[in-house]
Amino acid sequence: MSQGYFITGTDTGVGKTLVSCALLHAFSACGKSVVGMKPVAVSCEKGEWSDVERIVIASTIIVPREWMNPYALNLPIAPHIISKQMNVEIDISVIKMAYLELRSVAEVVIIEGVGGFLVPLNDLHDGSDMAQVLDLPVIMVVGMRLGCLNHALLTAQSIRASGLLLVGWVANQIDSQMMSFEENINALKQRLNCPLLGVLPFEQHVNAKKFSTLLDVTQLRAR
């Protein structure tokens, strides 16, 4: 039976792709066939979607690009804005169909959301609607920097209010100079009421496969 997890973050740029790839490597190391999905990707440079390429490399199964990345948007702008400029309608039902295809060929599917949990996708739907349609347990990436406590607790509250299960979180140290780092970790451990899957240290040149050894996927509960 296939497992799937939806990866969200406390903001954009907090390391969702890094954690998604690390999770793919971690499950692969457990002997699972794995594939990643980036339903909506925005490029940092026109015509290049590096996040998707990283997910392709971390996956153990080759699948059609349109399954892994149904929507590739060509500017780093909020999805609902750039999709309108491109005359593209982000359709959540298309994303779900692509996910079902992936689920049929891999034992574990890791789906990376776009931006934060409530980022708008079109005039009617946001990231939480996509997560609800996929109906998957959620893993939250917390970008450890000043303000992360409020962002993490609000995101967790929103995930649970949407009826989804928050099964774990990952602390990613994106600010090398963050003061009271351990104290902030402990504050979230006390308040999030779900397992801390791992703490990723700050590094200039990150390596998802190396970081995968810092994640304890045995704590995850399949649904």
Structural domains of the chain, count? 1
> Of 16, 38, 84, 189, which residue is the catalytic one?
38
- CB contact set of 118 (below 8 Å; sequence gap of 6+): 126, 127, 128, 158
Is 160 contained in some domain?
A: yes
Which CATH number is 20's domain given? 3.40.50.300
Q: What is the span of the domain harbouring residue 23?
A: 3-214
Is 110 contained in some domain?
A: yes
Is 221 contained in some domain?
A: no
The secondary structure of the chain in percent helix, strand, coil, rounded to multiples of 5, reads 40, 20, 40
Is 222 contained in some domain?
A: no
Is 102 contained in some domain?
A: yes
Is 223 contained in some domain?
A: no
Is 170 contained in some domain?
A: yes
Q: Is 189 a catalytic residue?
A: no
What are the pLDDT tens digits along the chain (223 aa)? 689 999 999 999 999 999 999 999 999 999 999 999 999 998 755 545 688 999 999 999 999 999 999 998 887 788 888 888 888 899 999 999 999 999 999 999 999 999 899 999 999 999 999 999 999 999 999 999 999 999 999 999 999 999 999 999 999 999 999 999 999 999 999 999 999 999 999 998 889 999 999 999 999 864 4
Across the beta sheet with 196-200, what order do the strands follow? 34-37, 108-112, 3-9, 138-143, 166-172, 196-200
Is 67 contained in some domain?
A: yes
